[in-house]
Structure 1
């Protein structure tokens, strides 16, 4: 009987430890354990036209280092903007006054957080200051819808419109006047003058022999005359 009571006691202890572990795990996941009411921390605000799925207790980081947390998100009825109030740790008190706040996403489909980009102002942010330079959250549904709309609009255009039509336009070519040449044309050689007395021009006898001219025929005609002269 006593052994059964000891066993039940140990089971109860392990169950209690499991509940405490689950409680601390839930606190870490929901970031409730990091909420501080230290008066040394200071608050800054930023206005966004679209806060996306940003939630309270989301991290506020710069260069990958967490500087604080988002304390609250409220709606401004006059400007119709989302006012995000952030609590920054006191050790990060040297942020320039022209710091830019952007709503970014951890990964492709991760949770959103506020990313700070430092400016070049010599003055630093103080408690209650408001960031003037902000960039709203990028909504994935809007990006996809714009892409599909632009694609459908481009496919609906008939062929020949746009840049293709401009390329297909004929180019007007204006005739250009002929440019006179600066170099004079070569003079044609005058024809050869005929020989005096109506005879032929002086031609080299070898040229006449190759061309089968009259010199060759005269030689053939004179051969039999010489033979006849030798005979008695």
Structure 2
């Protein structure tokens, strides 16, 4: 009898522990069930998204206001289409500028939103009209090297 009671208590605590771990995993991964009425979805086209990934944060003034929900390639415009799911608590004007930024020098990439001045607000299905692509470090280094080489032309051959 005593052994059965002990086994029952151990099993109970194992189940509670597993449930707590799952809860923490969902919280850390930000994968909790989101209520569709608490968010709205907008999209924007970018020439280059760099290393942006789905589930990347969307920030405005340093505050996370949403997540990147989908990234796909548009075969007609040959541009990347990024879909953003924004928290309904944060409303943005229709002329908001979306920029792909990097945390630190080599950190994760995220979408930054800079609010415009339009009185009409974004709503589900709207497209961001003004976007700025990611700065690609390799392109910057190549441009710098090319500019330096153009400043100092090679001496004439004899």
* TM-score for both structures, normalised by structure 1: 0.57
Q: Which has the larger radius of gyration?
A: 1
1:142 aligns with 2:139: yes
Please provide the CA RMSD for this pair: 2.7
Which structure carries more relative contact order (alpha carbon 8 Å, separation 6+)?
2
Q: Flag the structure with higher strand content.
A: 2
Q: Flag the structure with higher helix content.
A: 1
2: CA distance between counterparts of 1:144 and 1:10? 62
Asked if the contact 1:32–1:57 (Cα under 8 Å) also holds between the matched residues in 2, the reply is no
* TM-score for both structures, normalised by structure 2: 0.79
Count of equivalent residues = 156
Q: Which runs of 5+ in 1 are unaligned?
A: 161-232
Please state how far the C-alpha of 1:76 moved relative to its aligned partner: 0.3
2:40 to 28, 42, 51: 42
Query: Which residues in structure 2 correspond to 1:1-232 (within 5 Å)?
Result: 2-33=1-32, 35-38=34-37, 41-93=39-91, 95-148=92-145, 150=147, 153=149, 157-158=153-154
2: CA distance between counterparts of 1:14 and 1:141? 53
Match of 1:228 in 2: none
Q: Deviations over 1:85-134 (max 9, x none)?
A: 112222323x2221100111223333222110011223322332111111
Q: Deviations over 1:60-91 (max 9, x none)?
A: 22112222222211110111111111122223
Please state how far the C-alpha of 1:149 moved relative to its aligned partner: 5.2
1: CA distance between counterparts of 2:146 and 2:17? 53
